[in-house]
Structures are given as C-alpha cells and as structure tokens.
Amino acid sequence: MKNPHFYFRVLVVEDEILIRKYIILLLESVGCTVVGETSYAEKAIRLAREKSPELILMDIRLKGEMDGIEAAREISSHSNAAILFMSAYDYQKQTEVRQIPNMLGYLKKPVEDYDLVTYLKRLSVMTAAVQKI
Amino acid sequence: MGLKKQMDAEMKTEVQQRLEILLVEDNEDHAYFIKRTLNDREYHVTRIADGKEAFDYMANPPYPFHVVLLDYYLPSMDGMEILKKIAEMGKDYAFIFLTVDDSVQTAVEAMKAGAMDFLPKTTQFFDGLPAMIEKVYALHQVRLEKKRLEEQVKKSLKEKELLLREIHHRVKNNLSIIHSLLHFQAQYADRQPVETILANTRNRIRSMALVHEKLYKTQDFTRIHLPEYCHDLITYLTETFHPNPHPGGSFVHFKTDVDDIHLDIDTIIPLGLIINELVTNALTHGFLDHHGEATSGKQPRPAEIRVSIHCEPDKPDCGLVVSDNGKGLPDDFNGDRSDTLGMFIIRSLVEQLNGSMNIGAANPHGTEVAIRFQTHRQS
C-alpha cells in the first residue's frame, strides 16, 4: 500500500476473527503496531490498561456480557486512547457512540483501507497538535 | 322433565356456578333484594358495603370475580370515583352501575367512566338483572379476548422486527467476512492458478450461502439442522472436485456420521467454513496429483473421506473429525506453521469457536484432522 506510515500502538477488539485478522493486516501494512487483540469487552478493558495503546478499534457487538460501547466508556475513564468504533449496522446506537469522550470516529463495515487511513491521518494531526501545546 | 330440558338446565347451572359477583352496596335492604333476585341463579356473591374498601379489593383482588354490581352512593368513596380510579389503573372489569337516580346524565357519565351497563334500582328493573349480568359477562369476555389477541399481534410484530434486524446484521457481517477473505486471497494470489483461487472462493461463499438457504426454510430463522447442512455441503464439494466423473458417482466415497442436532448461526458459519476447507484439503491433497488428476485409480484401495461430528450431551463441547485414506501428509508438514490460506482460515475459525486442532496420520493410511470446539447448541 502506498500510504503514509503511522506508528500508532493499536488494540483491536472484534469478535469475528477473520475480520479482525484482516484489520490487523491493514493496520500493519500502514506501519501501526498491534499491541493486543480480543473478542471480549472485558478483556479489552484489561488490555487497554496493560498495553496502553494509543488507538483502539472497537466493534460494537462483541462476545460476552458487555458491548463495545460499554467497554469504551469504561476505558475512557482511565485511558486517553482514541477509540474508533466499527459496526456493520448499528445506526440506532450512533447517539450513544458520540457521547464517548475519546471517540475518534465510526468505521462502517466492511472496513476499507482508505477509510481507516483517513482516521489515522486525523489522529496524527490531533496528536501533533496536543504535543505542540 | 324431558332429556333436553334437563340437559339445558344442567348447562345453565354450570355457567351460573362459574360466575363470581362482587356486590358493592351499602344499603342493607337493596343488598338483600339483589341477593334474593340472584338466589335461583346460584351465583357466588361477595358483598362489600364501603366504597374505599371495595376499591382496595378491586385494586388487588384476593379472589377473582367476573362481574361487579357497583352502587353510586357509597360511604368514603362513591361509585363514579371508583370507576374512574380503576380505569386509571388500567384494570378492565365488567361493571354494572346501580343507582336510585335514573337520570340519563348519570347513566352516560357512568358508561363514559367505564361501566358496561346501567341499572336503576326499581323493582321491575331487578327482574332484568340476571339477564343483564350474563350479557355483560359475555361481552366482557369478548373484550378481554380481543385485548389478548391485540397484545399477541403486537408481541409477534415486535419479535419479527427484532428478527429482521438480527438477520440484516448477520447478512452484513457475513458479507464483511467474505470481503476479508477476498483480501487475504489477494495476499496468496501468486501461489495458485486463478481458476483454483476462484473455485476455492466460490466454495467458501457457498458454505455461507448454504446457511442462509437452510435458515430460510426453518420456522424461527435461528438454527440449522447439522446433518442436513453437512450432507449438502459435502455434496456440493464433491461435484466441484469431480475430475473424472464415473457414471456411478464421485471418485471419492464419503462416510458421514453427524449427531442429530441443531446449531445456531454463530457456530454454523465458522464450522461450515472449516469443514469446507478440510474436505477441500482432503480431496485435493489426499487424492489428486500435481496435475489435478485423481490418483485413486492408481491406488489399491477405494478413496474414502470420513466426516464425523459428535457433541457431548448437555455440554457445549463438540468434536469434528475429517479423515481420508489418501496419500497422507508430507514429511515436513507442520499444521501450526503451514502458511496456506486454507490453513490460516481453519486456524482463525478454530479460535473463533474457542477450539483446538490436532493434525496427524490416519490409521492405516492418509490424514486425520481432529478439532474440538464449543457451540451454542439448541436442541
């Protein structure tokens, strides 16, 4: 891929493993390091603490009791990681998603590389701006 | 007494005995007359003299009742107020409103407040009371039944909406999986002829399409009959890899032994893809030579592939075994490291099902793949 390189540490939370592996492939192809991956909200919260990722790709529907929005809310309370939601079809939850403090955006599935890169660029700009301050 | 008359009398008694009447009346004389009027009907009458007490009784009835005879003027809470408060609570009782005041205005007010009929307390009207009770009771039963059916329709509609949303999500999710698979396929594109790549991709998509095809034929659109699914999947695969069709059927003989169970879509999609890959591997690596020609003709034994799926009763644990009597694994084979797309897909989906995999030699010839996995089974 002839995209600019990003060096973010990323956590991928997605319960369809083939889709997760594909997203990891996309992330790695643009220079990101995947520091953790899981199908479960509960494990995502733990990995967010342990691995301190800068970006979390979060599916909304997950295995287990909690969904991705609840996990994101919990993670936002103790982490500054930007959260990029992914979902095939959950428009009714858009309002809930927007209320998450560290939300970076909303990726529609199937995830396309150019969509992902758009958000990575945005995150780079935001990170640079914060560093200037 | 003639037989018909006797039967009619018995039936009437049966209906009458069923009716529980709640009489809310403070005047002793009126209560006495009403009870006497109802005496020969063998209703069971419960009488309450106080308005507030009657309201509390109806708000939380200790015993069920069918018809309420409700007086207008009562101590502590009048009949009209009781009607309105009971309606506010969303309760639906069969009220007959009783009063000495026979003005049209009172009647209309009572009916608007929820009474089903109205009876002025005069001697000649009392004679009509039993018939009125039966009529009101019958009408009220119809009204309750209508409400029950309406609730049922609403509930069913809501279930259908949920189901539609769920299926929509599944379809989009499965398209996303296919999208990912195509991306992986592009990474492996230089290893195989394009015809093979496209055939494999078609088979993967078909293993998923078959789930939706089977779902559509079920009652509740949520579960799949496993033996039927496996049979169809294997039949399709056999037809795809049918290099030298014999008049009598496939060059490979299949033996399937699959438990008679139903699986939900979350299990069957990955499981179907795994079976698809394993059977494809068995067919291609086990029995085809480098030119895609069947090697079975050159073998002393008839080519055979066995697929078995067994689940432990009342547990989520299941085992899938796919074995063949083909030429066996290459000496340097390592399942964990094997970097074909098929093996990558199998490893990922075994993880999806919280499972484990063991690849080894079959006895006495060929290859055996055993997978343990967990399912959300539905009996």
Interface test with A, best of B183, B276, B343 (most A CBs within 10 A): B183
Q: Which residue of B lies nearest to A61 if distances are taken between CA atoms?
A: B169
Q: What is the pLDDT of residues A48-95, one digit of tens each?
A: 999 999 999 999 988 888 999 999 999 999 999 999 999 876 566 778
Q: In Å, how far is B130's CA from the nearest CA of chain A? A: 56
At B303 the pLDDT is 84
At B379 the pLDDT is 43
Interface test with A, best of B168, B171, B173, B187 (most A CBs within 10 A): B173
How far apart are the C-alpha atoms of B286 and B103, rounded to whole Å? Answer: 96
User: Hey, is the C-beta of A109 within 8 angstroms of any chain B C-beta?
Assistant: yes
The b-or-e profile of B301-312 (16+ CB within 10 A means b, else e) is: eebbbbbbbebe
Q: Which residue of B lies nearest to A92 if distances are taken between CA atoms?
A: B165
User: What stretches in chain B show pLDDT beneath 70?
Assistant: 1-17, 242-250, 288-301, 335, 376-379
Mean pLDDT score of chain B, rounded to an integer?
86
Both structure tokens of B107: 């009647």
CB < 8 Å to B181, chain A = 18
Angle formed at CA B247 by CA B244 and CA B248, multiple of 5 degrees: 105
In the three-class reduction of DSSP (H, G, I as helix; E, B as strand; rest coil), residue B184 is classed as: helix
CB < 8 Å to A110, chain B = 175-176, 179-180
How far apart are the C-alpha atoms of A89 and B68, rounded to whole Å? Answer: 52
- Measured between alpha carbons, how far is residue A74 from residues A33, A43, A44, A101, B149 in Å? 23, 12, 10, 11, 44
Q: Which residue of A lies nearest to B170 if distances are taken between CA atoms?
A: A88
The answer to whether residues B253 and B304 touch, using CB atoms and an 8 Å cutoff, is: yes
At B181 the pLDDT is 94
Tell me: cis bond preceding A4? Omega within 30 of 0 counts.
Answer: no
Number of neighbours of residue B84 by Cβ within 10 angstroms: 14
Q: In Å, how far is B145's CA from the nearest CA of chain A? A: 35
Quote the pTM value: 0.74
The answer to whether residues B23 and B46 touch, using CB atoms and an 8 Å cutoff, is: yes
- Measured between alpha carbons, how far is residue B192 from residues A18, B197, B294, B326 in Å? 21, 6, 18, 22
For the sheet containing B223-225, what is the strand order? B223-225, B262-264, B377-378
At B291 the pLDDT is 59
Q: What is the pLDDT of residues B43-97, one digit of tens each?
A: 899 999 999 999 999 999 999 999 999 999 999 999 999 999 999 999 999 999 9
Q: What is the pLDDT of residues B205-241, one digit of tens each?
A: 999 999 999 988 887 778 899 999 999 999 998 888 7
Q: Which of B348, B346, B224 is nearest to B279 (CA)?
A: B346
Percent of chain B residues past pLDDT 70, beyond the cut: 88
- Measured between alpha carbons, how far is residue B55 from residues B48, B70, B95 in Å? 10, 11, 13
Contact at CB, B349 and A25, closer than 8 angstroms: no
User: Hey, is the C-beta of A40 within 8 angstroms of any chain B C-beta?
Assistant: no
- What mean pLDDT comes out for the span A5-27? 95
For residue B104, the number of C-alpha atoms closer than 13 Å in the C-beta half-sphere is: 0
Is pLDDT of A2 > 60? no
Both structure tokens of B88: 């506010």
- Report the largest interatomic distance among the alpha carbons of chain B, rounded to a whole angstrom: 108
In the three-class reduction of DSSP (H, G, I as helix; E, B as strand; rest coil), residue B244 is classed as: coil
Q: Which residue of A lies nearest to B184 if distances are taken between CA atoms?
A: A22
Q: Which residue of A lies nearest to B167 if distances are taken between CA atoms?
A: A89
Interface test with A, best of B166, B172, B180, B353 (most A CBs within 10 A): B180
Residue B19 DSSP label? -
Contact at CB, B172 and A89, closer than 8 angstroms: yes
In the three-class reduction of DSSP (H, G, I as helix; E, B as strand; rest coil), residue B94 is classed as: strand
Residue linked to tokens 């590389």: A113
User: Hey, is the C-beta of A7 within 8 angstroms of any chain B C-beta?
Assistant: no
**Exposed, middle or buried: residue A21 (CB in 10 Å: 0-12, 13-18, 19+)?**
buried
